[in-house]
Amino acid sequence: MSRCSAASGIDVQWLDGADAERLAPGLKAEGVVGATFCQQDGIADPNGVTMGFAKAAQAAGVTVERDTEVTGIRVEAGRVAAVETARGTIETRTVVNAAGPYARQIGRMAGVDVPGRSVSPSHFHRAAPTRTTNDERSNDERSAVGSSAVSRHGD
């Protein structure tokens, strides 16, 4: 990894478990043999970002309907006219499709093809060689060795 990172000009540092714990308070790195850190990486909390947008929209006078199932979207003359929900009809000409993994389904209600599909994240764990077998370790020990989550979006 470091050769590839160096070749692309990305500064990636290899860390031991103690260094990883210092950089990520609350991380339990017991048994971690190595980790990587890139100062240029970023992180976004999807819920926090969504709530930030919702609060800004509300401050601008927008009504946000939470926990409200959309059952249909009425389109007239090629434009949205209303959103049908489990709580009733909302007359509107503007809709923000913030349905996450259901965005494509909601788009179809309005006759719009929302590209992309949701793929469940896959996880992998890689353990350092050890003299004990996996059967002798607890589940926590096996999973604490290191993990990375990967998600992919495509057609």
Domain ranges of the chain: 46-109
Distance CA 99, CA 2 (A): 38
23 in Cβ contact with 15 (< 8 Å): yes
H/E stretch holding 70 reads strand 70-76
67-113 per-position pLDDT tens digit: 889 999 999 999 999 999 999 999 999 988 888 888 999 999 999 99
**7-11, 35-39, 61-65, 110-114: lowest mean pLDDT where?**
7-11
pTM of whole model > 0.75?
A: no
Identify the pLDDT of residue 6. 58
Among the listed residues 20, 1, 21, the one whose alpha carbon sits nearest the alpha carbon of residue 12? 1
What number is the average pLDDT over the span 53-60? 94
Among the listed residues 77, 82, 86, 91, the one whose alpha carbon sits nearest the alpha carbon of residue 109? 82
Distance CA 8, CA 40 (A): 13
29-52 per-position pLDDT tens digit: 888 888 888 888 877 788 888 899
| Number of residues assigned to the chain | 155
DSSP output for 122-148: EEEE-PPP-SS-GGGS-HHHHHHT-EE
- Res. 129 pLDDT band, cuts 50 70 90: very low
Does residue 3 register a pLDDT over 80? no
